[in-house]
Amino acid sequence: MCGIVGGVGKGLKQFISSNLYLLDQRGPDSKGIIDFTNNLVMGATRLAMTDPHPRSNQPMIENLTKNALVFNGEIYNFRELKMKLIKAGHQFFTESDTEVLLKLLSLNGKKILSQLEGMFAFGFYNKSENTFTIARDFLGKKPLYYAVNSNHFIFSSQINIIKKYLKKTTLDESSMSSYLKLGYVLDPRTMFREIKSVQPGESLVFDLETNSIIRRDSYSPESITHASSESIPTLMQRSILERTTGHKSFALSMSGGVDSTIIAFEAARLGLNFEAYSMRWENSDKDRYNQDSNAAKLICQKLGIKLNVVDMPKIDTLENELGKFIEAIGEPNSNPSGVSMMSLYERISSDSNRLVLTGDGSDEIFGGYTRYSSLNKFRIIPRIDSNSVLNYFILNSSKFKKISSISARIAAASNPVSWYYWHQLADELYLRKLFPNYKLQKLKILDNQYINLIDSKNVVASLMSKDLKIWLPMESNTKLDRISMYHSIEARSPFQSEVLIGKALIEMKRYQFQRLEKKVLFDNYPVLRTLPINQTKQGFLSPLGHWLRNNHDLVLSSLQYLNLNFDFNETQLKILKNSAIVGDYHSFRFLWSLIVLVKWHQTYSSSN
């Protein structure tokens, strides 16, 4: 894994030389910078996971074409692709996937993206064309930001290095609205108007003479669009092996739910060397927050796996822990599990682990979230196409609770507004009252073959596909990558194998997306019914109400900061102040999102 940066601009070489250290945690093993005669600069820091020798350090230049690559990620099928190239007469000088990707891009350009299986973000310089291509994997597992105008073009794995180069940035109010609505930012926007995010499954080609985008494309992996006929357990075993080959040991993030249990079961059956890690809240005010570790303990005992239970931070350290989380993530994310994950990964790192497997991505392909089952109950009701009256009811749920609930369930699959209903922290009425500049951001999902494969009239399939292309990359994968890489750990998710996703799509379509709640996984893994799995598990829980009730000063100072620095309605902020004490979950959940916003703004203020 690596941190990458580069581009063209005044003083960029010196800037990157002086600031490459900002990417050290993403790549602590080596660093390098190359500048070209056309003022292009490319830099990288490396976490050496594949072929950990200096010969595979980056930036990497191809001998014949003098094309160059900086690459963050892991191409899991690179050995297969390499063998095809060797048979065609091509030579290789390393054992790395970086060299294979560089050769493929030099031969075929970005057309090869659909053949790749893995996670990646890269910058590729084509010398003969004087163009530069940046691209990101289909599920946005690896980050890639950029800023471009007539004077400069700069890209990087981290937003802070671009912000520092630009010197002056402005808050993007559209992203502010998205954050208030969802608790995270929607690609391709960021919290800074001048900086964009490459979207999952997108590639952009820049003309280096004009610093302009001359082509923008999207792709879908062939492994998804041409599904495998092999069984789910076979594909799961292969996915685990692809992600662990070449590593003597690894850690497993063990929640006590279905997904991490399957990975634990298969990894143990394969005889791999690993230990599991789970979370424990010793000082929580409710027992349910330790159901994860209790279930994980029993499961690991049955499977003969060593479990490390990590004590979560005390409540009086919350503000400090939140600060570290914000430093790691770069943009605001209000999912409270992020703060907990910081402590988990800190412990995993302290035990000298560099690789972690996680169960992320299963819910979106096997129908695990309760919203899918809830929507499926209304499947025989005639669908209503998007219209202003229906959308008004959907978006204003606090005023029309029952009507809004029904409207979201009978809206046609093509209605983009209904997706917000299942994910929102607050509805339109409340947000406009709280923040006068609030404006709902339109969803922008790249067109690709995967979306076209989904039954366009099946509302459950449509919701699952949107979750796979929005929620998973822009919230879950963003959080996972930033936290793990902050601790110089590579996190890999076997359920996000392109081959497995393609297989899941076929299986779910076979049952018309009605066999939900991961029943397909239970069919393929009867052993799950013999294990004490926490079947309601959907990610690590965090005792949010307990945090806020015991950090009153943090609540008050955050609300005061909002009054001074943002255009929020003061009366509405005062109402939120005691929401945790009252026990109003939806209100104190939203209060937490505002506290996160404050901490982010204090850390990455738009004023330079």
Residues 111 and 10 in one domain: yes
Helix (H) or strand (E) holding 218: strand 212-218
> Is the pLDDT confidence value at 540 over 60?
yes
The mean pLDDT value for 192-211 works out to 95
Do 544 and 592 meet the contact criterion of CB atoms below 8 Å apart? yes
The total of structural domains in the chain comes to 4
> Is the pLDDT confidence value at 384 over 90?
no
Both tokens assigned to 571: 């009366």
**Domain termination site, one of 423, 456, 489:** 456
CATH at residue 487: 3.40.50.620
> Is the pLDDT confidence value at 145 over 90?
yes
Beta bridge partners of 250: 274
CATH at residue 66: 3.60.20.10
Task: Specify the pLDDT at position 132.
Answer: 97
Q: What is the pLDDT of residues 242-285, one digit of tens each?
A: 999 989 999 999 988 999 999 999 999 999 999 999 999 877 76
Cα gap 101→106, rounded to integer Å? 8
Residues 237 and 320 in one domain: yes
Residue 453's pLDDT band (cuts 50, 70, 90): low
Residues 341 and 424 in one domain: no
**One-letter amino acid for residue 538 of the chain:** Q
Residue with tokens 């072929």: 51
Cα gap 32→23, rounded to integer Å? 11
Residues 213 and 232 in one domain: no
Q: Helix, strand or coil for residue 529?
A: helix
CB count within 10 Å of CB 109 equals 16
**Domain termination site, one of 165, 191, 219:** 219
Residue 357 lies in a domain: yes
> Is the pLDDT confidence value at 142 over 80?
yes
Task: Specify the pLDDT at position 450.
Answer: 62
The alpha-helical segments, DSSP class H, found in 20-146 are 78-87, 97-108
Of 541 and 277, more confident = 277
Task: Specify the pLDDT at position 437.
Answer: 93
Q: What is the pLDDT of residues 387-445, one digit of tens each?
A: 888 999 999 998 999 999 999 999 988 888 899 999 999 999 999 999 999 999 888 77
Residue 473's pLDDT band (cuts 50, 70, 90): very high
Report percent pLDDT > 70 for the chain: 96
Residues 347 and 396 in one domain: no
The mean pLDDT value for 378-392 works out to 85
Residue 464 lies in a domain: no
**Domain termination site, one of 456, 481, 498:** 456
Helix (H) or strand (E) holding 489: none
Task: Specify the pLDDT at position 290.
Answer: 79
- How much is the pTM? 0.95
Task: Specify the pLDDT at position 285.
Answer: 66
Cα gap 290→338, rounded to integer Å? 17
- Crossing angle of helices 585-603 and 552-565, rounded to 10°: 60
Closest CA to 421 of 436, 406, 433: 406
Residue 342's pLDDT band (cuts 50, 70, 90): very high
- E strands, 424-508, where? 490-492
Residue 376 lies in a domain: no
Residue 570 lies in a domain: yes
Q: Helix, strand or coil for residue 271?
A: coil
Mean pLDDT of the chain: 92
> Is the pLDDT confidence value at 208 over 80?
yes
Task: Specify the pLDDT at position 605.
Answer: 77
Range of the domain at 398: 384-456
Residue 379 lies in a domain: no
Task: Specify the pLDDT at position 608.
Answer: 45
Residues 176 and 234 in one domain: no
DSSP state of 39: S
Residue 538's pLDDT band (cuts 50, 70, 90): low
Residue 370 lies in a domain: no
Residues 356 and 484 in one domain: yes
Residues 237 and 215 in one domain: no
Residues 113 and 162 in one domain: yes
Q: Helix, strand or coil for residue 413?
A: coil
Of 595 and 52, more confident = 595
Cα gap 495→137, rounded to integer Å? 15
Both tokens assigned to 311: 């004590």
Residues 208 and 87 in one domain: yes
Residues 562 and 523 in one domain: no
Task: Specify the pLDDT at position 607.
Answer: 44
Do 77 and 120 meet the contact criterion of CB atoms below 8 Å apart? no
Residue 266 lies in a domain: yes
Lowest mean pLDDT segment, chosen from 92-101, 388-397, 449-458: 449-458
Task: Specify the pLDDT at position 287.
Answer: 72
Burial bucket for residue 231 (CB in 10 Å: 0-12, 13-18, 19+):
exposed
Residue 538 lies in a domain: no
The mean pLDDT value for 172-182 works out to 96
> Is the pLDDT confidence value at 522 over 90?
yes
> Is the pLDDT confidence value at 155 over 60?
yes
> Is the pLDDT confidence value at 520 over 90?
yes
Residues 207 and 232 in one domain: no
